[in-house]
Structure 1
Amino acid sequence: MSLRLYRRWRPIRAVSFDLDDTLYDNVPVMRRAEQAVHAYLVEHFPQTAHWTIADWSARRSAIMDRDAELASDMSALRVATVAEGLREVGVANAEREAEAVLAEFLRHRNAVEIHPSTFAALDKLSRHLPLYALSNGNVSIPEIGLSRYFKKTWQPQTGRLGKPHLDMFHEAQAEQPELLPHEWLHVGDSPTADILGAQRAGWQSAWFSGGLYQHHDLQILPTLSYDHLSELVDWILVAYTVPDQ
């Protein structure tokens, strides 16, 4: 059994999920999307051809460092990044053109492949507990076929910062104000966004240890860790009704 308990388990009444790299492998998706967008930029704006994918990434990082709100909103950040670059090379209507670049990016970014076992696990769990999605990414949840499992979903936007900020955690709690914070379980792969964010909110957390991060990346211990979603779901369905000790 790959599920490991690190903190005292307390019965839960709601579960929230991160999406990217928790419910599917997002790395190849983003790699293809970045390559497609770079090709689009070079084709439509050849004056940008001297900038590599790494150069655009560095520009995004610089904007994130100076603007906390843009750092949380991946779509707005991408538009701001492209618009800034296009203005530098003298492109007219840079913001409008950047919106078109975003549309091209999202077309590839939403080409997510989800294993059938993930759908089965979410369907099984949703029959017993209300599920929510708290994602820092800009994937289209309806387009990738996951929205039917969640009562409500949240992603960063103007006035709503991403995890580990508490904005989305608090909005989720407002949907079920009768629940105590510890009656929520947040599931995710990021030691900072998901595990630290849940800890700050007073929630329990389940860390997907089969993702991008290693155990030494954890800043704090989660309630538990797991390698396979089906195993986590089966364990929750047995454990979530166990009386608190």
Structure 2
Amino acid sequence: FVGVCFDQIYNQAAKFRYMFGGKARTPMVIRMSMGAGMNAGPQHSQTVYPMLTAVPGLKVAVPSTPADAKGLLTTAIRDDDPVVFLEHKALYARKGDVPEGNYAIPFGEASLVREGSDATVVAIARMRIFAERALDSLAEDGITCDLIDPRTTSPLDDELILESVANTGRLVIVDESPPRCSIAADIAGQVAQNGFEHLKAPIVQITAPHAPPPFARELERAYVPSPGRIESEIRALIAGR
């Protein structure tokens, strides 16, 4: 239902600091559920972080693990600017170790989940989990990749992504959003502009189609990038196909 209150977020909260010369603060955290995989229909299965990331003045957090959720939410609560905290519905039941006590993750600090040499894989939210499954299968054939979870899309840790691409020479971005004006497209553009000399092959964007998320279970499975699709596209990239 973010569309109903978009004027307050886009035209008001995101702009207060700028409109009042830095004297106004908006320490507000907006928690939203998102994402396909739960058969919730088009309105409730969208991934709205590309639209929100494009708004100057908003910070956008997209955790994929319980530990990251705690660390990023702590930082969001302490921030003096408005933060949109997006929670993928299909990850609510996911379990994992969570640090005790005071634990915060700085915004704009991506996680290097695993290291490899054949390609850089950037995967957002639930797509990190799917990418890990794909990379487990690829590792059986000796294919290893850097896996980066951005954790926040605004600010974005483009430095880590560029450093990784400089080492691997290939980039794959896995994003559940539709492809047009997506975070995948944004990352691809930044790497093409600032790290083109390191690329051995075209950048691969693995996204949902440019369509609303379907309700039917079979169609939804086809809509969301799967571990199998991620694996096959990485294999094709490395093979030069």
Provide the TM-score with structure 1 as the length reference: 0.35
Higher helix share: 1
Higher strand share: 2
Larger Rg computed on CA atoms: 1
Structure showing greater relative contact order (alpha-carbon pairs closer than 8 Å, 6 or more residues apart): 1
